[in-house]
Structure 1
Amino acid sequence: MILLREYQGKLLLLIKDTIACYDHKSDTYEEFNIPQLQPNLENRLVSSVCSSKHDDFLAVSLSNKQLIIFDKKFNVLTNTLSKRVVSKIRFTPDNDLLVADKTGDVFVYKGNNIEPKLLLGHLSMLLDIEVTDCGKYVITSDRDEKIRVSCYPNSYNIVSFCLGHREFVTNISVCGKVLVSASGDGTIRLWNYLTGEELAVANCNEYITDKSIIGNFSKEMSAESVDVDALPITDMQVYAKQDLIYVGVTVLGINGVQMYFVDVSNAVLSVKYLQTVVVSSPLLTYYLREQLIILTTNELAVLDVCSDKCNPLNSDISRLFKHCKHLLINYENLSNSFVSTLYKRKYDNVQDYLEKKKIRLENKS
């Protein structure tokens, strides 16, 4: 997985076990190798990253269960192994680190204490976790189409469930009093997370012009005993500015970023399609804030999102590509194949049972 994030006004590119840090104002570039914990730990690929509220700390998780916390100068404060493979990590406003894992549990790391405490659990793989700005609620999404809103730190008090997605919920993001979610069912949904009420929905598959991509994916998954009628959303990023929420999503099989916006000042919310930013070379990752930054195998493009169209910008940020190009050589993007594994397979055990029963009866006779 490749991740683009902003930290202390600088742009971070996280790839494999390397953090590339670029300050576009001074055109300075540094690379930091994520330290190993044990020499024999393999699969050192970045799986998630988050920063604390005031950028005092940066936390990074790897696919080998390694969990590292850095300070502002990228000095290692904590380097440990999580109990299980990590899905997502998030800081609370009080700098507690929440770790959601693929078995469905969330653990909390407080301060420099490397011994985590179990916070809450799902019966399914967790895919994302968010903490509200007030720090009172933790929101989790899982493979079983559920979004749960729990109190923090007393997470045994469940506030609500946001139910409506028909497939796994890949991403969630809190914008004030509104929760935005994206799913394998190809939809974006907005919620009042305190009540669980669905406020708006948009089907991203409606804005795919080549419908054969949906059909081909449906046939491919049908061969694996999965009924699919929509392309899943593989990633979602959200940026809120005053009363506007901008949403960028990537859809499996579509080489670009779909952009949407929501005006939350309206009494009735609706998700409005802005455009699809199509790229000519394979898309590796993207980052959405005041600008949409798209990294492909050939360039790093910067676009203005706070307008009617995502217009290309002549930004100094694009110079990052010349510095990090060597990191992209022979990189294999496996994130799309992971999304395909999240569908639940259907197995017909009845026919097998009947055949074995028939054999047993024949042997008796």
Structure 2
Amino acid sequence: MCCLAVNDDLVAVSNAFYLDFFNKSDNVINKLTIDPSPSEDETVTDLIISHDSKYLAVLLSLSKRLIIYELQHMQQILNITLPRRASKIRFNISNTQIFVADKTGDVLSYDIPLGNNGIKILGHLSLLLNVLQTDDAKYLISCDRDEKIKVSCYPNTYNIQTYCLGHKEFVNHIELLPHKTEYLTSSSGDGTVKIWNYVNGILMHTIDTSNDLKNTDLQEKFCKTMDEDGIEVSSLPIVHYSISKYDENSSILAIAVHTYMKIMIYRLQSQNDKFSHILISELPVEQFPFAIKVSNLSLYVYDNTDFKIKEYHTMNKNENITIEFARDIQVFKEQDCKPEKYDPDAIKVLFKRKFDNVQEYQERKKLRLEKS
């Protein structure tokens, strides 16, 4: 597993438990050594930069450690062991707390830099996949494997504002719409990105990537493979999703759909609370990416086979938006990293198997009758 985090000054990338930082201003790469040294099987599950670019947070899977660094001097200020393995971390809007979404369905809150014992602030009945706080700090939004997006009041999270319901599979990414932050965007295993009025739980717009896929054979093959495993699906899932503001009325979305060897770039526009989208580019990739990130109209794509981050810039030529290659950033030169390709089976665990209990009951009944 690999993670990517980007701000105005640097690009951070993880591979297993290794961390490299690329400084955009002087083009220098620095490595970060985790202390104490993790085991060989350790993996960075999540990697994020605080809203004010002051902190970097690292989530480790095997040891269940949460480590926070002060970015300017790369000094460790917090190192705690979580009670359970977590899937996602996110800073609060004031960068004074960090929210941890764990794999049992709970969201914990830790103060920075005190690192208290962690306060459980809300829970789901399913595996949590993401969490975020709104810009006005009034709501905490969480999503899970069971297609649900929950909007909780903050700090009194026992008060549920609403649910955003409409996805047919797991919801793996949620982000506020950058050019209009009173709306939420979400991506899912059903292959769609949805736009929500999150205060009222109203669906405003849907981008269905299956309508734009040029290779329908991939979708048919995936559906057949999943059906053999007892999982009923109708579209390719979204694996990676990132979004960035383009102008006052629109945002740029980058989407990597399972095994589709092109990154889909959309422009999402809004006017008078009406939304529209257009596919502006399909960026070919040699290998399915391990991570993508859009930041300030630059797209970063990490390939774990050659340890390169490809940087692309969004250009506006005669009112036409184009995506142009800028440079390769070579990382992990000094670490003993092994090349790795995307595992197409890894995402299967997020899908729920459909059980036909009636048929199973009828078969058991038939056996009983035959014996009697």
Structure 1: distance between partners of 2:276 and 2:192: 13
Structure 1: distance between partners of 2:338 and 2:75: 29
What is residue 324 of structure 2 aligned with on the other side? 312
- Point out the structure with the larger strand share: 2
- Note the C-alpha offset of 1:244: 1.5
Structure 1: distance between partners of 2:228 and 2:60: 32
Task: Decide which of 280, 289, 293 is 1:287's aligned counterpart.
Answer: 293
What is residue 79 of structure 2 aligned with on the other side? 79
What is residue 10 of structure 1 aligned with on the other side? 10
What is residue 55 of structure 1 aligned with on the other side? 53
Task: Decide which of 250, 255, 266 is 1:249's aligned counterpart.
Answer: 255
- Note the C-alpha offset of 1:349: 4.5
Q: How does 1:1-365 map to 2 (within 5 A)?
A: 1-7=1-7, 9-36=9-36, 43-64=41-62, 65-72=64-71, 73-94=73-94, 95-111=96-112, 112-175=114-177, 176-241=181-246, 242-289=248-295, 290-296=297-303, 297-298=305-306, 299-307=308-316, 308-315=320-327, 318=328, 320-321=329-330, 323-325=331-333, 329-333=337-341, 336-357=344-365
Sequence identity (%):
31
Q: Are 1:303 and 1:310, in contact at CA under 8 Å, matched by a contact in 2? A: no
Structure 2: distance between partners of 1:160 and 1:353: 37
Structure 2: distance between partners of 1:325 and 1:193: 44
- Note the C-alpha offset of 1:128: 1.0
Unaligned runs of 5+ in 1: none
The code of the aligned residue for 1:100 comes to: A
Structure 1: distance between partners of 2:367 and 2:202: 53
- Note the C-alpha offset of 1:281: 3.7
Aligned residues: 358
Q: Are 2:312 and 2:323, in contact at CA under 8 Å, matched by a contact in 1? A: yes
Deviates more, 1:272-281 or 1:182-191: 272-281
**Deviation by residue 1:147-205 (Cα, 9 ceiling, x = unmatched):** 11111111111112111111111111012111111111111111111111111111101
- In structure 2, the CA distance between the partners of 1:280 and 1:69, relative to structure 1 (3 Å rule), is same
Structure 2: distance between partners of 1:306 and 1:143: 36
- Note the C-alpha offset of 1:250: 0.6
**Deviation by residue 1:310-329 (Cα, 9 ceiling, x = unmatched):** 332435xx3x21x4356585
Structure 2: distance between partners of 1:278 and 1:328: 28
Structure 1: distance between partners of 2:321 and 2:338: 33
Unaligned runs of 5+ in 2: none
Q: SS state of the match for residue 292, structure 1?
A: strand
Q: TM-score, normalised by structure 2?
A: 0.89
Structure 2: distance between partners of 1:133 and 1:306: 28
Structure 1: distance between partners of 2:150 and 2:41: 31
Q: SS state of the match for residue 274, structure 2?
A: coil
What value does the CA root-mean-square deviation take over the aligned residues? 2.3
Structure 2: distance between partners of 1:135 and 1:328: 42
- In structure 2, the CA distance between the partners of 1:78 and 1:268, relative to structure 1 (3 Å rule), is same
Q: SS state of the match for residue 270, structure 1?
A: strand
Structure 1: distance between partners of 2:275 and 2:363: 55
Structure 2: distance between partners of 1:198 and 1:283: 30
Q: SS state of the match for residue 347, structure 1?
A: coil
**Deviation by residue 1:236-293 (Cα, 9 ceiling, x = unmatched):** 1010133211111110011221111112234411122212111134433222112112
Q: Are 1:143 and 1:342, in contact at CA under 8 Å, matched by a contact in 2? A: yes
**Deviation by residue 1:112-164 (Cα, 9 ceiling, x = unmatched):** 13300101001111111111112221111111111111111111111121111
- Note the C-alpha offset of 1:18: 1.4
- In structure 2, the CA distance between the partners of 1:92 and 1:42, relative to structure 1 (3 Å rule), is same
